[in-house]
Amino acid sequence: MDTFKEPTVSISLTVKDAAQALEFYRTALGAKECFRVNAPDGTVAHAEFTIGNTLLYISGEAEAWHALAMPENSMASCLFSIASKNCDASYERAVDAGAKPLSPPTDQFWGVRSSMVKDPFGYRWSFTQRIEELSEEELSKRAEKFFASMAKP
């Protein structure tokens, strides 16, 4: 019987220094390293880590694998969102570890408190904390009101 459960979609981050990134993610996001393979030069060729119940891959740059880190001072177009029991504490932990604040913790119309940071490697992370359960009807009303307020000059 096959008990291995491979994820349907795997996310792989490429950074210039994967060992440094793994340490940052451990400190800032509570990541737990599961597996690491080092290249002959001692750099991280491939590693796997979890944040909560999500598995992510990470590696240093490898032209043969078309794996290049983002240019310095750029920002990824993707966003990683972490469900948190305490949005404010998660945000502070990441900022204290060296993440750049993008959006401070704020209550959102869709029933979550959220914040956002950029890590030193260019990836954006948000922390979301459910603060209220909304019916589809209530969510639609709030969205309509929100977008109407955005349209006013």
Assign domain 7-69 to its CATH architecture: 2-Layer Sandwich (3.30)
d(CA 51, CA 65) in angstroms, rounded, equals 25
Nearest to 49 by CA among 94, 100, 91, 12: 12
Give the domain ranges of the chain: 7-69, 71-153
Distance CA 61, CA 76 (A): 16
Query: Does the fold of domain 71-153 match that of domain 7-69?
Result: yes
Is the pLDDT at 3 greater than 70? The verdict is no
Average confidence (pLDDT) over 60-76: 90
pLDDT in tens, 16-53: 999 999 999 999 999 999 999 999 999 999 999 999 99
Q: What pLDDT does 65 receive?
A: 86
- Is 71-153 CATH 3.40.140.10? no
Q: What pTM does this model have?
A: 0.88
Average pLDDT, the chain: 93
Q: Who has greater pLDDT, 5 or 129?
A: 129
